Structure 1
Protein backbone atom coordinates (compact mmCIF):
# COMPACT_ATOMS: atom_id res chain seq x y z
CA UNK A 1 0.00 0.00 0.00
CA UNK A 2 1.27 3.46 -0.93
CA UNK A 3 2.23 5.77 1.92
CA UNK A 4 1.09 9.33 1.26
CA UNK A 5 2.82 12.49 2.47
CA UNK A 6 1.57 15.88 3.52
CA UNK A 7 0.41 17.83 0.44
CA UNK A 8 -0.13 14.78 -1.79
CA UNK A 9 -3.16 15.04 -4.03
CA UNK A 10 -5.41 12.01 -3.61
CA UNK A 11 -8.91 10.75 -4.24
CA UNK A 12 -11.04 9.47 -1.39
CA UNK A 13 -13.26 6.50 -2.21
CA UNK A 14 -16.41 6.84 -0.18
CA UNK A 15 -17.67 3.71 1.56
CA UNK A 16 -20.78 5.38 2.95
CA UNK A 17 -24.18 4.13 1.85
CA UNK A 18 -25.46 6.24 -1.02
CA UNK A 19 -21.92 7.26 -1.98
CA UNK A 20 -20.44 3.87 -2.98
CA UNK A 21 -18.61 4.12 -6.29
CA UNK A 22 -17.70 7.77 -5.85
CA UNK A 23 -14.30 9.44 -5.55
CA UNK A 24 -13.60 12.90 -4.14
CA UNK A 25 -10.49 14.96 -4.79
CA UNK A 26 -8.52 15.94 -1.69
CA UNK A 27 -5.02 16.64 -0.42
CA UNK A 28 -3.29 15.00 2.51
CA UNK A 29 -3.06 17.33 5.52
CA UNK A 30 -1.16 14.82 7.63
CA UNK A 31 -0.45 11.08 7.85
CA UNK A 32 -1.58 9.46 11.10
CA UNK A 33 -1.26 6.15 12.96
CA UNK A 34 1.71 4.80 10.98
CA UNK A 35 0.09 5.70 7.65
CA UNK A 36 -3.03 3.63 8.38
CA UNK A 37 -5.14 6.82 8.61
CA UNK A 38 -4.85 10.23 7.01
CA UNK A 39 -6.29 13.66 7.66
CA UNK A 40 -7.44 15.06 4.30
CA UNK A 41 -8.88 18.33 3.05
CA UNK A 42 -11.38 18.02 0.21
CA UNK A 43 -11.16 20.13 -2.93
CA UNK A 44 -14.91 20.39 -3.58
CA UNK A 45 -16.62 19.34 -0.34
CA UNK A 46 -17.25 21.96 2.38
CA UNK A 47 -18.02 21.98 6.11
CA UNK A 48 -21.73 21.63 6.85
CA UNK A 49 -21.65 24.37 9.51
CA UNK A 50 -19.47 26.82 7.49
CA UNK A 51 -19.80 26.29 3.76
CA UNK A 52 -16.91 28.66 3.04
CA UNK A 53 -14.45 26.19 4.63
CA UNK A 54 -13.24 23.02 2.87
CA UNK A 55 -14.25 19.79 4.63
CA UNK A 56 -11.41 18.18 6.59
CA UNK A 57 -11.75 14.63 7.90
CA UNK A 58 -9.78 11.55 8.89
CA UNK A 59 -10.02 8.55 6.55
CA UNK A 60 -8.46 5.10 6.56
CA UNK A 61 -5.60 4.34 4.17
CA UNK A 62 -7.73 1.85 2.21
CA UNK A 63 -10.08 4.70 1.23
CA UNK A 64 -7.27 6.63 -0.52
CA UNK A 65 -5.70 6.37 -3.91
CA UNK A 66 -3.44 8.69 -5.90
CA UNK A 67 -5.14 11.04 -8.36
CA UNK A 68 -5.43 9.10 -11.63
CA UNK A 69 -2.95 10.08 -14.33
CA UNK A 70 -4.31 12.44 -16.95
CA UNK A 71 -5.66 10.34 -19.78
CA UNK A 72 -5.95 11.96 -23.14
CA UNK A 73 -9.63 11.40 -23.71
CA UNK A 74 -10.62 11.22 -27.32
CA UNK A 75 -14.13 12.26 -26.37
CA UNK A 76 -15.37 8.98 -27.76
CA UNK A 77 -16.73 6.32 -25.42
CA UNK A 78 -18.07 2.91 -26.37
CA UNK A 79 -21.27 1.15 -25.37
CA UNK A 80 -20.86 -0.62 -21.98
CA UNK A 81 -17.49 1.06 -21.35
CA UNK A 82 -16.78 1.92 -17.68
CA UNK A 83 -16.34 5.65 -17.11
CA UNK A 84 -16.23 8.15 -14.26
CA UNK A 85 -18.75 11.00 -14.43
CA UNK A 86 -18.22 14.22 -12.48
CA UNK A 87 -21.41 14.98 -10.52
CA UNK A 88 -22.29 16.17 -7.01
CA UNK A 89 -18.68 17.31 -6.35
CA UNK A 90 -17.13 13.91 -7.09
CA UNK A 91 -16.37 11.26 -9.68
CA UNK A 92 -18.94 8.44 -9.91
CA UNK A 93 -18.28 5.08 -11.60
CA UNK A 94 -20.80 4.17 -14.26
CA UNK A 95 -21.29 2.44 -17.61
CA UNK A 96 -21.98 4.05 -20.99
CA UNK A 97 -25.44 2.97 -22.18
CA UNK A 98 -25.95 5.27 -25.15
CA UNK A 99 -25.18 8.50 -26.96
CA UNK A 100 -27.50 11.31 -27.91
CA UNK A 101 -25.99 14.15 -29.95
CA UNK A 102 -23.05 15.43 -27.84
CA UNK A 103 -24.07 13.68 -24.61
CA UNK A 104 -23.46 10.18 -23.32
CA UNK A 105 -25.92 8.28 -21.16
CA UNK A 106 -24.31 6.72 -18.09
CA UNK A 107 -25.90 4.05 -15.88
CA UNK A 108 -24.87 3.89 -12.22
CA UNK A 109 -25.25 0.43 -10.74
CA UNK A 110 -25.03 1.68 -7.14
CA UNK A 111 -28.03 4.03 -7.51
CA UNK A 112 -29.92 2.63 -10.50
CA UNK A 113 -29.82 6.08 -12.15
CA UNK A 114 -29.17 6.71 -15.83
CA UNK A 115 -28.07 10.28 -16.60
CA UNK A 116 -26.85 12.11 -19.72
CA UNK A 117 -23.50 13.96 -19.46
CA UNK A 118 -21.49 16.26 -21.67
CA UNK A 119 -18.24 14.59 -22.69
CA UNK A 120 -16.26 17.17 -20.67
CA UNK A 121 -17.72 15.66 -17.46
CA UNK A 122 -16.54 12.12 -18.29
CA UNK A 123 -13.20 10.38 -17.96
CA UNK A 124 -11.97 6.86 -18.64
CA UNK A 125 -12.36 4.69 -15.55
CA UNK A 126 -9.16 3.44 -13.93
CA UNK A 127 -8.85 1.18 -10.88
CA UNK A 128 -5.98 1.42 -8.39
CA UNK A 129 -4.88 -2.19 -7.77
CA UNK A 130 -1.65 -3.43 -6.21
CA UNK A 131 -0.13 0.06 -6.46
CA UNK A 132 -0.80 0.26 -10.21
CA UNK A 133 -3.47 1.80 -12.43
CA UNK A 134 -5.58 -0.71 -14.35
CA UNK A 135 -7.68 0.33 -17.33
CA UNK A 136 -11.04 -1.26 -18.08
CA UNK A 137 -11.48 0.40 -21.47
CA UNK A 138 -13.24 -1.94 -23.87
CA UNK A 139 -11.47 -2.51 -27.15
CA UNK A 140 -13.69 -3.05 -30.19
Structure 2
Protein backbone atom coordinates (compact mmCIF):
# COMPACT_ATOMS: atom_id res chain seq x y z
CA UNK A 1 0.00 0.00 0.00
CA UNK A 2 1.37 3.41 -0.91
CA UNK A 3 1.56 6.36 1.46
CA UNK A 4 -1.16 8.06 -0.58
CA UNK A 5 -3.47 5.04 -0.25
CA UNK A 6 -2.81 4.92 3.49
CA UNK A 7 -3.76 8.61 3.82
CA UNK A 8 -7.00 8.06 1.90
CA UNK A 9 -7.87 5.05 4.06
CA UNK A 10 -7.29 6.92 7.33
CA UNK A 11 -9.43 9.84 6.14
CA UNK A 12 -12.27 7.49 5.17
CA UNK A 13 -12.07 5.40 8.37
CA UNK A 14 -12.35 8.48 10.58
CA UNK A 15 -14.94 10.35 8.50
CA UNK A 16 -17.87 9.56 10.80
CA UNK A 17 -16.00 10.75 13.87
CA UNK A 18 -14.95 13.98 12.14
CA UNK A 19 -18.49 14.60 10.89
CA UNK A 20 -19.93 14.06 14.38
CA UNK A 21 -17.41 16.57 15.72
CA UNK A 22 -18.33 19.11 13.02
CA UNK A 23 -22.02 18.74 13.89
CA UNK A 24 -21.31 19.13 17.62
CA UNK A 25 -19.18 22.25 17.12
CA UNK A 26 -21.65 23.83 14.70
CA UNK A 27 -24.49 23.09 17.12
CA UNK A 28 -22.45 24.74 19.90
CA UNK A 29 -21.84 27.83 17.75
CA UNK A 30 -25.55 28.05 16.90
CA UNK A 31 -26.44 27.74 20.60
CA UNK A 32 -23.94 30.52 21.40
CA UNK A 33 -25.56 32.67 18.70
CA UNK A 34 -28.96 32.17 20.35
CA UNK A 35 -27.46 32.92 23.77
CA UNK A 36 -26.03 36.19 22.40
CA UNK A 37 -29.45 37.09 21.01
CA UNK A 38 -30.98 36.65 24.45
CA UNK A 39 -28.05 37.96 26.52
CA UNK A 40 -29.98 41.13 27.41
CA UNK A 41 -32.58 39.13 29.31
CA UNK A 42 -36.03 37.65 28.73
CA UNK A 43 -38.15 39.59 26.28
CA UNK A 44 -35.19 41.76 25.20
CA UNK A 45 -33.77 39.96 22.16
CA UNK A 46 -30.76 41.41 20.39
CA UNK A 47 -32.02 41.39 16.80
CA UNK A 48 -28.78 42.57 15.24
CA UNK A 49 -26.77 39.40 15.95
CA UNK A 50 -25.95 37.14 13.02
CA UNK A 51 -23.94 33.95 12.54
CA UNK A 52 -21.80 33.03 9.55
CA UNK A 53 -19.85 29.77 9.56
CA UNK A 54 -16.40 30.09 8.03
CA UNK A 55 -13.39 27.84 7.55
CA UNK A 56 -11.00 28.22 10.47
CA UNK A 57 -8.44 30.78 9.27
CA UNK A 58 -5.69 28.92 11.16
CA UNK A 59 -6.64 25.56 9.68
CA UNK A 60 -4.03 24.03 7.42
CA UNK A 61 -5.86 20.83 6.47
CA UNK A 62 -9.24 20.08 4.94
CA UNK A 63 -11.25 18.23 6.02
CA UNK A 64 -10.50 19.42 9.53
CA UNK A 65 -8.83 16.61 11.48
CA UNK A 66 -10.43 15.30 14.66
CA UNK A 67 -9.78 17.77 17.46
CA UNK A 68 -9.42 20.69 15.05
CA UNK A 69 -11.12 24.05 15.38
CA UNK A 70 -14.38 25.03 13.70
CA UNK A 71 -15.15 28.71 13.30
CA UNK A 72 -17.87 31.27 12.77
CA UNK A 73 -18.10 35.02 12.57
CA UNK A 74 -20.67 36.44 14.95
CA UNK A 75 -21.84 39.89 13.93
CA UNK A 76 -22.72 41.95 16.98
CA UNK A 77 -24.27 45.06 15.51
CA UNK A 78 -21.38 47.22 14.30
CA UNK A 79 -18.60 44.66 14.79
CA UNK A 80 -17.84 41.03 14.13
CA UNK A 81 -16.02 38.57 16.38
CA UNK A 82 -14.45 35.34 15.22
CA UNK A 83 -15.22 32.40 17.48
CA UNK A 84 -13.25 29.17 17.14
CA UNK A 85 -14.31 26.01 18.96
CA UNK A 86 -13.25 22.38 19.20
CA UNK A 87 -14.07 19.32 21.27
CA UNK A 88 -11.38 18.40 23.75
CA UNK A 89 -11.77 15.73 26.42
CA UNK A 90 -15.56 15.94 26.21
CA UNK A 91 -15.66 19.73 26.66
CA UNK A 92 -15.91 22.63 24.26
CA UNK A 93 -12.73 24.68 24.20
CA UNK A 94 -12.57 27.86 22.22
CA UNK A 95 -11.19 31.26 21.44
CA UNK A 96 -12.80 34.53 20.46
CA UNK A 97 -11.81 38.06 19.56
CA UNK A 98 -8.51 39.47 20.77
CA UNK A 99 -7.30 36.72 23.10
CA UNK A 100 -10.53 35.56 24.74
CA UNK A 101 -10.60 31.87 25.64
CA UNK A 102 -13.16 29.56 27.19
CA UNK A 103 -13.77 25.97 28.16
CA UNK A 104 -17.27 24.68 28.82
CA UNK A 105 -17.78 21.23 30.29
CA UNK A 106 -21.53 21.86 30.35
CA UNK A 107 -23.50 23.62 27.65
CA UNK A 108 -26.72 24.36 29.47
CA UNK A 109 -28.61 27.57 28.82
CA UNK A 110 -27.06 29.33 31.84
CA UNK A 111 -23.53 28.29 30.82
CA UNK A 112 -24.02 29.65 27.31
CA UNK A 113 -25.59 32.89 28.60
CA UNK A 114 -22.61 33.47 30.91
CA UNK A 115 -20.24 32.92 28.00
CA UNK A 116 -22.29 35.21 25.73
CA UNK A 117 -22.24 37.99 28.31
CA UNK A 118 -18.51 37.53 28.85
CA UNK A 119 -17.89 37.80 25.10
CA UNK A 120 -19.96 41.00 24.97
CA UNK A 121 -18.03 42.49 27.92
CA UNK A 122 -14.64 41.51 26.49
CA UNK A 123 -15.39 42.86 23.02
CA UNK A 124 -16.70 46.08 24.59
CA UNK A 125 -13.51 46.39 26.65
CA UNK A 126 -11.39 45.84 23.55
CA UNK A 127 -13.14 48.64 21.65
CA UNK A 128 -13.00 50.88 24.73
CA UNK A 129 -9.22 50.38 24.82
CA UNK A 130 -9.31 48.62 28.18
CA UNK A 131 -7.37 45.55 27.02
CA UNK A 132 -3.67 46.28 26.73
CA UNK A 133 -1.27 43.55 25.74
CA UNK A 134 2.04 44.50 27.33
CA UNK A 135 3.99 42.98 24.44
CA UNK A 136 2.14 45.21 21.98
CA UNK A 137 2.57 48.37 24.03
CA UNK A 138 6.38 48.17 24.15
CA UNK A 139 8.23 50.37 21.68
CA UNK A 140 11.18 48.02 21.21
TM-score (norm 1): 0.25
Q: Whose strand fraction is larger, Structure 1's or Structure 2's?
A: 1
Q: Whose helix fraction is larger, Structure 1's or Structure 2's?
A: 2
TM-score (norm 2): 0.25
